[in-house]
Amino acid sequence: MSATVEIANDIALIRMDDGKANAINFDMIAAVNSALDKAEAEAKAIVLAGREGRFSGGFDLNAFATLGADGVYKLLDAGAELLLRLYGGPLPVVAACTGHAIAMGTFLLHACDTRVGASGAFKIGANEAVTGMQLPIFAMELARDRLNPTHMTRAMIQGFIYDPAGALEAGYLDMLVDLEKVEATALAVAGQLAQLPAPSYAWNKKSIRKTTLDRIRSSIGAHHKL
């Protein structure tokens, strides 16, 4: 299984671990969605973590190379749906960024409410400009909401890759701790957020983010038309 879930003290810890770069493909998306099903039914807050040294290396480039155009669009749509579920879902979601986060890995960070990152020699950023890929709508819209506006050009148009301290300034992360403390810190933050009144948290989150959610939702199924 490329993602697992453990629930304790009303907190669901979802850990992505494919033994490699935590690439986002259909298997990983299905596994995270299955974990979210359990989390939403049994928990009051969620921590989304990676494996040590890796949060996520982004979409599975091997899948992109073999799926064909229709398959790539379907994978992009599945990724967008997952981001919508995290970004607009009712529960607080805390990212435990346990290392590198590239491309889709950073968009997963954007979709989480609070992002705890690891200090160290890690790379965080959207590298689509460097690899010659066009940014999907969900990437642009989440970046507009979560990134520091003064970093938008450097981060999204020029594809700059940050170290964790730079990622904190740019808005990919909200706090930095030592690698061995990332998961525990994220769980502590999630525990605090779980104490907030759930109905108002869910309503405020969805309402404040409605414009971005609507724009992303309207792009699904239309990547080839943009």
Give the Cα separation of 214 and 65 in Å (integer).
Answer: 30
What Cα–Cα distance (Å) separates residue 64 from each residue in 24, 75, 163? 11, 8, 27
Least confident segment among 51-65, 135-149, 169-183: 51-65
Mean local confidence (pLDDT), 27-51: 97
- 3 or 63, higher pLDDT: 3
Counted residue by residue, the chain has a size of 226
The whole-number pLDDT of residue 62 equals 83
The domains of the chain are located at 3-225
The whole-number pLDDT of residue 115 equals 98
The whole-number pLDDT of residue 1 equals 66
Give the Cα separation of 121 and 99 in Å (integer).
Answer: 8
The 10s digit of each residue's pLDDT in 93-137 is 999 999 999 999 999 999 999 999 999 999 999 999 888 888 999
Residue 192 in 3-state DSSP?
helix
Residue 169 in 3-state DSSP?
helix
Least confident segment among 12-21, 69-78, 93-102: 69-78
| CATH superfamily membership of 3-225 | 2-enoyl-CoA Hydratase; Chain A, domain 1 (3.90.226.10)
pTM of the entire predicted model: 0.95
Q: Is residue 226 over pLDDT 50?
A: no
The whole-number pLDDT of residue 64 equals 77
32-45 burial code (b ≥16 CB/10 A, e <16): beebbeebeeebbb
- The residue whose two tokens read 């940014």 is 135
Give the Cα separation of 208 and 75 in Å (integer).
Answer: 27
- Inter-axis angle of helices 210-219 and 137-146, nearest 10: 170
Give the Cα separation of 208 and 149 in Å (integer).
Answer: 18
Q: Which two structure tokens, joined as six digits, stand for 189? A: 């933050």
The 10s digit of each residue's pLDDT in 151-168 is 999 999 999 999 999 999
Across the chain, mean pLDDT equals 95
The 10s digit of each residue's pLDDT in 170-198 is 999 999 999 999 999 999 999 999 999 99
Q: How would residue 28 be classed by pLDDT, with cut points 50, 70 and 90?
A: very high
CA atoms within 13 Å, Cβ hemisphere of 20: 10
Q: How would residue 221 be classed by pLDDT, with cut points 50, 70 and 90?
A: confident
Q: Which two structure tokens, joined as six digits, stand for 131? A: 């690899």
Q: Which two structure tokens, joined as six digits, stand for 66? A: 């073999």
For residue 29, the tally of other CB atoms under 10 A from its CB is 17
Q: Where are the beta strands (DSSP E) in the chain?
A: 3-8, 11-16, 45-49, 53-56, 93-97, 99-102, 114-118, 124-125, 175-177
- CB-CB contact of 161 with 57 (8 Å): no
Q: Is the four-CA dihedral 117, 162, 169, 148 of positive or negative sign?
A: negative
Q: Is residue 223 over pLDDT 70?
A: no
Q: Is residue 8 over pLDDT 80?
A: yes
Q: Is residue 224 over pLDDT 70?
A: no
